[in-house]
Amino acid sequence: MRILEHLFLVGEFAERARLLSGLTLDQVTLRPKGASHSIYDELWHLVGYQQSIIAPGSVAPGDLYPTAAPEHEDEWHQLVLVFLTGARAAADLEKAPERLVAEVQPGVTLADELNCVAVHNAYHFGKIVALRQRIGAWPPTASDVS
């Protein structure tokens, strides 16, 4: 088993591409009563943290959540693509064990950072699934994944 692919893309719960599939702009921007964030907000936050580790410097430090909802469905699809591309990049780091053991901070390796990102992602994917359930967009159908 490739553990990073398991943690970032396919394991422990449904494949991440499937969890993000089949959603409309209206669904991803809906914030049900009592929810602190929308599906879009959750993924935007998750992507920001993931990218800060996978591609340092690619994300400007700042807000933890978006300040505005996307206006076009393409923005949602682009965010999903950035997530999946980053998750694949994280999984592919397993092919470079020398990078995984390199310290990114004193006493903290890249592998340590990736484990933190995977846990963070799992938490927010749990929230995304709960939001999908609340808005009646769960489960995604098999035909939703392209």
Residue-by-residue pLDDT tens, the chain, 146 positions? 699 999 999 999 999 999 999 999 999 999 999 999 999 999 999 999 999 999 988 877 778 899 999 999 999 999 999 999 999 999 999 999 999 999 999 999 999 999 999 999 999 999 999 999 999 999 887 666 55
The residue type at 38: S
Q: Give the pTM.
A: 0.93
Give residue 61's pLDDT.
77
Give residue 142's pLDDT.
64
Rounded CA-CA distance 134/59 in Å is 31
Which is it for strands 103-105 and 108-109: parallel, antiparallel or unpaired? antiparallel
The structural domain count of the chain equals 1
Q: What is the CATH number of the domain that holds 56?
A: 1.20.120.450
Alpha-carbon 144 to chain mean position: 18
Range of the domain at 28: 3-144
